Amino acid sequence: MDDCLILGIESSCDETAAAVIKNGREVLSNVISSQIDIHTLYGGVVPEIASRKHIERINQVIRQALSDANVTLDDIDAIGVTYGPGLVGALLVGVAEAKAIAFAKNIPLVGVHHIEGHVSANYIQHPELEPPFMCEIISGGHTHLVIVKDYGEFEILGRTRDDAAGEAFDKVARAIGLGYPGGPKIEKKAKEGNPNAIEFPRAHVADAEYDFSFSGLKSAVLNYINKANMTGEAVNEADVAASFQQAVIDVLVDNAIRASKDYKIDKLALAGGVASNGTLRMAFEEACAKNNIKLYCPAPVLCTDNAAMIGAAAYYEFKKGNLAGWDLNAVPNLKLGEK
Provide, for the chain, the percentages of residues in helix, strand and coil under a 3-state DSSP scheme, each rounded to the nearest 5.
45, 20, 35
Q: How far apart are CA 135 and CA 131, in angstroms?
A: 10
Selected from 97, 116, 187, 317, the binder of ligand KG4 by CB under 6 A is 187
For the segment 57-86, give every residue that binds ligand KG4 (CB under 6 A): none
Instruction: With CA atoms as reference, report the closest residue to 132 among 243, 266, 42, 314.
Output: 266
Q: Is it true that the peptide bond before 332 is cis, omega within 30 degrees of 0? A: no
Is residue 35 part of the contact set for ligand KG4 (CB under 6 A)?
Answer: no
Is residue 10 part of the contact set for ligand KG4 (CB under 6 A)?
Answer: no
Selected from 14, 116, 170, 305, the binder of Zn ion by CB under 5 A is 305
Buried b (16+ CB within 10 A) or exposed e, 224-240: bbeeeeeeeeebbbbbb
Q: Which stretch binds ligand KG4 (CB under 6 A): 65-73, 97-105, 164-172, 192-200?
A: 164-172
Q: Which stretch binds ligand KG4 (CB under 6 A): 37-45, 70-78, 232-240, 270-278?
A: 270-278
Is residue 184 part of the contact set for ligand KG4 (CB under 6 A)?
Answer: yes
Is residue 139 part of the contact set for Zn ion (CB under 5 A)?
Answer: yes
Buried b (16+ CB within 10 A) or exposed e, 61-89: bbeebbebbebeeeebebbbbbbbbbbbb
Is residue 141 part of the contact set for ligand KG4 (CB under 6 A)?
Answer: yes
Q: How many CA atoms lie within 13 A of 242 on its CB side?
A: 15
Residue facing ligand KG4 at closest CB distance: 183
Is residue 13 part of the contact set for ligand KG4 (CB under 6 A)?
Answer: yes
Q: Least CB distance from residue 166 to ligand KG4, whole Å?
A: 3
User: Which of ligand KG4, Zn ion, none lies near 184, with the C-beta cut-off 5 to 8 A by kind?
Assistant: ligand KG4
Pair 255, 145: CB distance under 8 Å? yes
Is residue 195 part of the contact set for ligand KG4 (CB under 6 A)?
Answer: no
Q: How far apart are CA 273 and CA 288, in angstroms?
A: 20
Which positions lie near ligand KG4, rule CB under 6 A?
13, 118, 139-141, 166-167, 169-170, 181-184, 187, 272-274, 276-277, 304-305
